[in-house]
Structure 1
Amino acid sequence: MVAKRNSARIAGITILIMAAVASFTYGYIHNSLVDPNHPETTVSQLRASTWLFRTEIVGWHFILLCDVVVAWALYKFFKDENQQLSQITAVLRLIYAAVLGGAVFKLISILRIINGGEGIAPELADQQMLSFLKSFESTWSFGLIIFGFHLLLLGFLALQSKAIHFFWGVLLILAALSYITIHSSKIGFPEFEGPIKTAEMILSLPMAFGEVGFAVWLIIRGGKPNMKINEALQNS
């Protein structure tokens, strides 16, 4: 029970830290540097704010490390209830982390171009930077589809658990379906960028609150004895 409680705390705390870092790394830095509607402005800002762009890349590496820790901690937390499903869930998160790593490598390539590396002719450098940036977005979107399936299985694990309220399982599944739908649409139907962005804004709350809310539950309640089960055992 102590080991399960520790795993819950590690998973929950790491998810919250990762969410905060992601908000700063992508929500602030990336979105302040990248203007999808003005490529020239994006290239100019990337070149002018190299130190900020480096900070973003460092942030992504930290997020990758957190994903590995969360995959391990959630496996340890759920393995006694369904080891096989827990293993698959953890593997999916590790695959997502690997795909994200491939996406981050595109950002590193942009940094190399800015620093004069990659052996690209100066007149083609800006175009190549935008190409790498687009590749980062599409690769990460593909990774988030895998992440959605990870959340889907995590939701099933939560629903199977007698110690976890069904609300968290339902919320995780809702978040999972939102991730899968939005990012599959981004890759499969890029011509509907406007409606997809609108749908993403609508679904952003369940997408964000699904895992983050569950992380708070893990910190507060995860691995603690279930009072109702204990009372039933005492009265039997």
Structure 2
Amino acid sequence: MKTFLKISGIAYVFIFISGFYANFIILETLIDSNKSSETIGNIINNSDKFKNGLIAFLIMIVSDILLVWSLFKVTKSIHKTLSHIASIFRGLHAVFFIVALFQLSKIYNLTYNATYSIQLEIKVFDLLLWFDKLWTIGLLFFAVHLLVLSYLILKSSYTSKFIGYFLIVAAVGYFIDCFSKLYFTNYSDYKLYFETMVVFTAIIGELSFTLWLIFKGFSKKTFRL
């Protein structure tokens, strides 16, 4: 059990670090949906930086796939069927993100050593839209995973119930942001508020769970969920 707790905790840390770096340090500084020509110039002139973002996202998704397996091992003793369901939904999130990541790799191939053209701009922004949409759909599956996981945590006789409630808060944050992004036509006007909400709720829920996994994984005490 402790081995799987350690793996889960460490994988979550890699997800937090690589995901934050790729999304906020790389993509957010290169891409502006309101300035298409400037965005293309940023990507063309910063191909190495864009590639680093791809590598970071790859590390994130590999860690996420590892977490599907290790979390199942951690939670299966609570309720095996629900643990399978939680794993399936997290796995679906991973699948959608892998397909989304292919869109970014296509952008890298199109823009590497390229020169600006209106045709390139159209292709790149079409791929960016697909990346964003696929990742958003994947995060809806991820939100369902968090809800099922929160139930498993609440059913556990050892885990703090607060973590289960925090995970519900995180799931609700993802649901609100994703549905707003998919169906709210003026989403871009309120993007900062939605992203702040998601980051805040994720920190409350997922980071608290991560810290618990690491603490229990490296603790000398033995226990069963």
Q: Distance in 1 between matches of 2:145 and 2:50?
A: 29
Q: Which moved more, 1:151-160 or 1:32-41?
A: 32-41
Q: Distance in 1 between matches of 2:178 and 2:206?
A: 17
Q: Determine helix, strand or coil for the equivalent of 2:211.
A: helix
1:116 offset after TM fit, Å? 7.3
Change (3 A) 1:106 1:203: closer
Q: 2:189 maps to what in 1? A: 194
Q: Determine helix, strand or coil for the equivalent of 1:221.
A: helix
Alignment of 1:1-236 (within 5 A): 4-115=1-112, 123-195=118-190, 197-221=192-216, 224-225=221-222
Q: Determine helix, strand or coil for the equivalent of 2:186.
A: helix
Task: Deviation per CA, 1:180-220: give whole Å up to 9, x if none.
Answer: 11111110113343235424323421223311210110111
Determine if contact 1:90/1:150 at 8 Å carries over to the other structure. Answer: yes
Question: In structure 1, what residue type is equivalent to 2:165?
Answer: V
Q: Determine helix, strand or coil for the equivalent of 1:190.
A: coil
Q: Distance in 1 between matches of 2:57 and 2:194?
A: 25
Task: Deviation per CA, 1:20-61: give whole Å up to 9, x if none.
Answer: 111111110111111222111110000001111111111111
Task: Deviation per CA, 1:61-98: give whole Å up to 9, x if none.
Answer: 11111011111000000111111101111111111011
Q: Distance in 2 between matches of 1:225 and 1:169?
A: 21
Q: Give the greater-gyration-radius structure (CA).
A: 1
Q: Distance in 1 between matches of 2:55 and 2:185?
A: 29
Q: Which moved more, 1:62-71 or 1:216-225?
A: 216-225
Change (3 A) 1:220 1:24: same
Q: Aligned pairs, how many?
A: 222
Q: Distance in 2 between matches of 1:203 and 1:42?
A: 24
Determine if contact 2:44/2:112 at 8 Å carries over to the other structure. Answer: no
Normalising by the residue count of structure 1, what TM-score does the alignment of the two structures yield? 0.87
- Provide the identity percentage: 25
Q: Which moved more, 1:106-115 or 1:156-165?
A: 106-115
Determine if contact 1:102/1:139 at 8 Å carries over to the other structure. Answer: yes
Normalising by the residue count of structure 2, what TM-score does the alignment of the two structures yield? 0.91
Q: Distance in 1 between matches of 2:109 and 2:187?
A: 33
Q: Distance in 2 between matches of 1:40 and 1:90?
A: 41
Q: Which moved more, 1:28-37 or 1:70-79?
A: 28-37
Determine if contact 1:7/1:77 at 8 Å carries over to the other structure. Answer: yes
Question: In structure 2, what residue type is equivalent to 1:221?
Answer: K
1:17 offset after TM fit, Å? 1.6
Structure 2 unaligned blocks of 5 or more:
none
1:113 offset after TM fit, Å? 1.3
